[in-house]
Amino acid sequence: MMKLQPRILELLNKRGIRTEEEIKEFLSDKPQKTYDPFLLLNMEAGVDFILSSIEENERICIYGDYDADGITSTSVLMEVLSKLTKNLTYYIPSRFEEGYGLNCEALKKIKANGVDLVITVDCGSVSCAEVEYAKEIGLKILVTDHHTITDKQADCLVINPMQPGCPYPFKHLAGVGVAFKLAQALAAETGLPKSVVNRTLDLVGIGTIGDIVPLVDENRTLAKYGIRAINVSQRLGLVKLMEGVSLDKGAVSSENISYIIVPHLNASGRMENAGIAAGLMMGNDQEKVSQGVNKLIACNTERKKIQSDTFEICKSLVEERYKDDYFLVLDLEDAHEGITGIVAGKIKETYNKPAVIVTPTGEDCLKGTGRSIEGVNIYDLLKENDSLFERFGGHAAACGFTMKRQNLSTLRENLNRSMERLLKENPALFNQRRKADMILSAADVNLELIEEMKLLEPFGCDNPQPLVQVSLVPEALRRMGTNGQYTKFNGRLDDGRELQCVIFKDASEYDEILQRNQKISIIGTLGCQSWNGRQYMQITVLGAEE
């Protein structure tokens, strides 16, 4: 095993990677941690179900979701199944007209299109009524999904590592991970070359990183091979998208996927139709692919503009009416449904309080989407109020619901009361300080440490970029950015060396302590920058105190 700096070993240890074997696997650029797809409950039956449908020349429809995970899941199964049958189509519902998951109107349309078997990806585990309707109208249905099952499960074949009784060793695959395991099982059963399945690893990497599932265990394997596949991908739509957003093929990182590729794929479903992104991932026609790329870029540009405007409206609303609320419930009369979730997340980050945005939908109803802070399970708080909702779902960090407008004030009062209770139990709930993974001395801060930190990539959920704490004296402050909203300064370490420091978020709140030229402690992420052939260390500051 390679020799690592003690601080890196200490960090791995903190993250539960302790034995030599675990460390070797975690750092390997060819990880081996993966499991037999047939360990997934109902996989064997599911494969037989699909293959018998193909033998009878039945028409198969892949039913996906409108986010990056759903789009890539749909594309993976379309690509692999197309090697076994040409009698194949797909359907992705509209976020605006249909909402998430299976719906009866869509199933009716699919049946009218001559489909015999529907295979869901990234949805369907708890769609009990919809599955019953599918059976009533003569559709066969197979659900593949990865979401938690808290209510009654759909009465059909379900392949989902989170379902009760599933012996699969790793529970946290993304929807695209489950679709990939189904593709592997189909290939094993039919003798399809492994290369057919492995060609979809670029999609698997995008969906896994994009869905913010824990990047540990098998997901880490899928993400690593996925990143490698993206960098050598021959997929026309992906190559053209990377060119269109100025990503260098061969140097694409997990960060590029999270902050550039995934938002562009998501933008189609947020602003128009996810079919644009799905068509791009499956497309081979140069002209159509170029049009698709232009469309995605335009959608994402529009998404950013509307998102920024809506965020400013929400901030004004908080300042004018809800500043003292513990749980922010913001009622917007006119907001684009495709961006309310992102804006709720930004409001949550700005005020460090749980936030829900509600907008009108249908006859005297409101549609809500929310995001929560660490230590507050938003799903549990909403579950206490489930009598107020027509539909509701989510998890600890995010939620979505539909409710009658008349119930809004009751919901706001109840959520604030619940937060008061939680604050009594934990008065520091709104003031949780960032904790450093490593407290570094001046001698610890070196390029070798930064290089070894890169071995911990890809970063994401359950494997965040390490936060370091270091003491220094700030010098030579200067403003950056179009409106001078960022701050850059040199930090003088205890051994006299300089560390470049940059603050991007809320930079002005640190002005006072930075201008005193006294030793401060900063927390942030350590990286390396190059300029004129010279490398230098830089810390992106996320917190500072005397």
Distances 227 to 43, 77, 262, 324, 526 between C-alpha atoms, Å: 27, 19, 13, 45, 22
Distances 14 to 442, 447, 475 between C-alpha atoms, Å: 22, 22, 33
Q: Is 49 helix (H, G, I), strand (E, B) or coil?
A: helix
Can you give the pLDDT at residue 398?
87
Task: Say yes or no: 98 and 219 in one domain.
Answer: yes
CA separation for the pair 318, 273 (Å, rounded):
31
Can you give the pLDDT at residue 511?
83
**Is a pLDDT exceeding 80 seen at residue 507?**
no
Query: For all residues of the chain together, what is the average pLDDT?
Result: 93
Distances 479 to 38, 487, 523 between C-alpha atoms, Å: 57, 5, 20
Cβ within 8 Å of residue 422, ≥6 positions away = 375, 376, 429
For 474, the enclosing helix (H) or strand (E) is strand 468-480
Mean pLDDT of 69-92: 97
Task: Say yes or no: 499 and 406 in one domain.
Answer: no
> Is 292 part of a structural domain of the chain?
no
The fraction of the chain above a pLDDT of 90, given in percent, is: 82
Task: Say yes or no: 85 and 167 in one domain.
Answer: yes
Task: Say yes or no: 229 and 193 in one domain.
Answer: yes
pLDDT digit string (tens) for 319-348? 999 999 999 999 999 889 889 999 999 999
Residue after which a domain boundary falls, among 380, 402, 431:
431
The letter for the amino acid at 145 is D
Can you give the pLDDT at residue 249?
93
The CATH number covering residue 498 comes to 2.40.50.460
Residue with the larger pLDDT of the pair 392 and 442:
442
**Is a pLDDT exceeding 60 seen at residue 207?**
yes
Can you give the pLDDT at residue 354?
96
CA separation for the pair 158, 41 (Å, rounded):
8
Task: Say yes or no: 44 and 154 in one domain.
Answer: yes
Q: Which residues pair with 501 in a beta bridge?
A: 489, 539
pLDDT digit string (tens) for 407-429? 999 999 999 999 999 999 998 88
Among the residue ranges 161-165, 278-282, 382-386, 467-471, the one predicted with the least confidence is 382-386
Both tokens of 31, joined, read 């990880």
**Is a pLDDT exceeding 60 seen at residue 298?**
yes
**Is a pLDDT exceeding 80 seen at residue 394?**
no
> Is 296 part of a structural domain of the chain?
no
Bridge-based pairing state of the strands 534-545 and 498-503: parallel
Q: Is 150 helix (H, G, I), strand (E, B) or coil?
A: coil
Could you tell me how far CA 54 lies from the centroid of its own chain? 33
> Is 285 part of a structural domain of the chain?
no
pLDDT digit string (tens) for 232-277? 999 999 999 999 999 999 999 999 999 999 999 999 999 999 999 9
Range(s) of the domain holding residue 358 = 324-431
Cβ within 8 Å of residue 393, ≥6 positions away = 399, 400, 401
Task: Say yes or no: 463 and 479 in one domain.
Answer: yes
Task: Say yes or no: 79 and 62 in one domain.
Answer: yes
Mean pLDDT of 178-192: 98
Among the residue ranges 171-175, 180-184, 511-515, 518-522, the one predicted with the least confidence is 511-515
> Is 303 part of a structural domain of the chain?
no
Can you give the pLDDT at residue 209?
96
Distances 231 to 33, 171, 225 between C-alpha atoms, Å: 21, 28, 10
Task: Say yes or no: 202 and 77 in one domain.
Answer: yes
Residue after which a domain boundary falls, among 391, 408, 431:
431
The fraction of the chain above a pLDDT of 70, given in percent, is: 100
CA separation for the pair 351, 139 (Å, rounded):
48
Can you give the pLDDT at residue 461?
87
pLDDT digit string (tens) for 120-168? 999 999 899 999 999 999 999 999 999 888 778 999 999 999 999 999 9
> Is 69 part of a structural domain of the chain?
yes
Task: Say yes or no: 139 and 271 in one domain.
Answer: yes
> Is 23 part of a structural domain of the chain?
no
Residue after which a domain boundary falls, among 431, 452, 467:
431
> Is 225 part of a structural domain of the chain?
yes
**Is a pLDDT exceeding 60 seen at residue 44?**
yes
Can you give the pLDDT at residue 536?
87
Nearest to 494 by CA among 448, 430, 444, 450: 444
| Helical pair 340-351 and 286-317, crossing angle rounded to 10 deg | 40
The CATH number covering residue 401 comes to 3.10.310.30
Task: Say yes or no: 407 and 511 in one domain.
Answer: no
What sign does the CA torsion over 101, 102, 108, 113 have? positive
Residue at token pair 């139990």: 425
Q: What's the number of domains the chain is made of?
A: 3
pLDDT digit string (tens) for 99-125? 888 999 999 999 999 999 999 999 999
Using 50, 70 and 90 to split pLDDT, how confident is the model at 1? low
Among the residue ranges 53-67, 381-395, 441-455, the one predicted with the least confidence is 381-395
> Is 297 part of a structural domain of the chain?
no
Task: Say yes or no: 424 and 451 in one domain.
Answer: no
Task: Say yes or no: 489 and 341 in one domain.
Answer: no
Cβ within 8 Å of residue 113, ≥6 positions away = 59, 61, 89
